[in-house]
Chains A and B, each alone.
Chain A
Amino acid sequence: MTPFDYHRPETLAEAFRIAGEIPGARYVAGGTDVLVRIRSGRERPNALISLGRIDTLARLELGSVTRIGARATIGQVLDHPELTSAYPLLAQAARPFGSTQVRNLATVGGNLCNASPAADMAPVLLALDARVEIEGPQGTREVPLDAFFKGPGQTDLAPREVLTTIVLEPPGPDARSCFLRKSRVGMDIALTSVAAHLQLADDRLTRVRIAAGAVAPCPLRLRAVEDLLEGRTVEPGLLDEAARLAASEIAPITDIRASANYRRRLTRTLVRRAVAAACEESR
């Protein structure tokens, strides 16, 4: 492993200062992606700036809005009963995330900043209409999560900026949801994943959000599917139409894990099943 220097600032202001002084430094949170990339030589930073001592980044607050500190680990999310009962999608994505060991290190913010098309937390947070707070030397800004991803490994973050908080609206009185994920074995990344979050009252679907992972350069909302389902009553013909439409909204690739064609078929099946399961979910 190429040697690097290691900094442990205790405030964001100190982190920004160090990042400004050392060109070639990069931030690190849990390290489960960054250290693997450094070890393989894919990244060669001359210094890491750990966010591990900035305690304001690890807060979890439920209130009029829910605020998840970017440095909260996947394990902390899973171990937070109020959070997972308000947002069952978070638990459904966190439970099969890596291994116990990885969940105790990997952070929610890190999973987003790593910007893998297959990131497990991305589809569920997209379906929950998450916004992200970003802080930099010039101040704080907020962007919708679906504007945060720019490509594989690429985000809206400017140099020196830090993703600090994931903000969620209350789930809604009639909220139903389902996350489905297909991988070959335990610990494997998703071949395809689909998250559905919607309101169901008097048999009608409203505020429909459908998101998919590992089927395009970025995790993405399936907006045509959402528009189709909005205001409708679920019946098999509608689900068939939603599934067909989903396959036309994605741009999967063929890689070592699956062919593009298989991912397209999986997306059709998972969209149909996720919407049906969300509607059948009892609350």
Chain B
Amino acid sequence: MSRECTLDVNGSLTTLQVAPSARLIDVLRDNLGLTGTKEGCGNGECGSCTVLLEGRPVNACLLIALEVEGRAITTIEGLLGPGGKLSPVQQAFVEAGGIQCGFCTPGMIMSATALLEANPAPTDAEIRDALVGNLCRCTGYTQIIESVRAAAVRLGTGDRPEAPR
């Protein structure tokens, strides 16, 4: 029992056969090989699986793949610029040390990317609020907050890529 489904991921359309109960996270990782999106809790609590659905962060573990057929999905892989250049948010996480084991990082970066798109100069409280659905178990959140702050500065100085859809 499988269904044909056309997904719009990172700007390209892919038609594939999916099980009706397959979640978006399953199809991204297992069918499309986009393993940057991680599954942590599987219950919409940890945010490791955060992707953008039409520009808004959502949990890919809480979405059935068929539900998002034809709607624009952006994963961490979709943030890369030409030649594999890291996005300003990705670059800021590298430079400010917002990464330890790396498992929560793609989700953190997707949430931060959506935040900065809507609010280019967030306060620390707004950054923390935007990341309330992204858990990091390695460390404190200080360097992650600093990374988002640094990304805002980068974007504010003109290092702005094309907006994710």
Task: Encode contact with A along B51-68: 1 for CB under 8 Å, 0 otherwise.
Answer: 001001111011110110
Give the complex CA separation of A98 and B3 in angstroms: 32
Q: Which residues of B contact A32 (CB under 8 A)?
A: 44, 59, 62
A101 touching B50, Cβ below 8 Å: yes
Interface centre among A2, A39, A75, by most chain B C-beta atoms within 10 angstroms, is A39
B133 touching A101, Cβ below 8 Å: yes
Q: Which residues of B contact A186 (CB under 8 A)?
A: 132
A99 touching B47, Cβ below 8 Å: yes
B133 touching A105, Cβ below 8 Å: no
Give the complex CA separation of A29 and B112 in angstroms: 26
CB under 8 Å from chain B, chain A span 58-96: 75
B43 touching A104, Cβ below 8 Å: no
Task: Encode contact with A along B11-27: 1 for CB under 8 Å, 0 otherwise.
Answer: 00000000111010000
Q: Tell whether A171 is near chain B: CB-to-CB under 8 Å.
A: no
Q: Which residues of B contact A36 (CB under 8 A)?
A: 43-44, 62
Of all chain B residues, the one with the shortest Cβ separation from A73 is B56
Number of A-B residue pairs, CB cutoff 8 Å, is 84
Contact residue among A4, A39, A101 (Cβ-Cβ distance under 8 Å from B57)? A101
Number of interface residues of B (CB under 8 A): 29
B59 touching A105, Cβ below 8 Å: yes
A4 touching B20, Cβ below 8 Å: yes
A102 touching B59, Cβ below 8 Å: yes
A102 touching B64, Cβ below 8 Å: no
| A residues lining the B interface (CB < 8 Å) | 1-6, 8, 30-32, 35-36, 39, 48, 50, 52, 75, 98-102, 104-105, 186-187
27 A–B contact pairs at CB < 8 A?
A: A2-B21, A3-B19, A3-B20, A4-B20, A5-B20, A6-B20, A31-B62, A31-B63, A31-B64, A35-B23, A35-B64, A36-B43, A36-B44, A48-B21, A48-B64, A98-B133, A99-B134, A100-B133, A101-B44, A101-B57, A101-B58, A102-B62, A105-B59, A105-B62, A105-B63, A186-B132, A187-B132
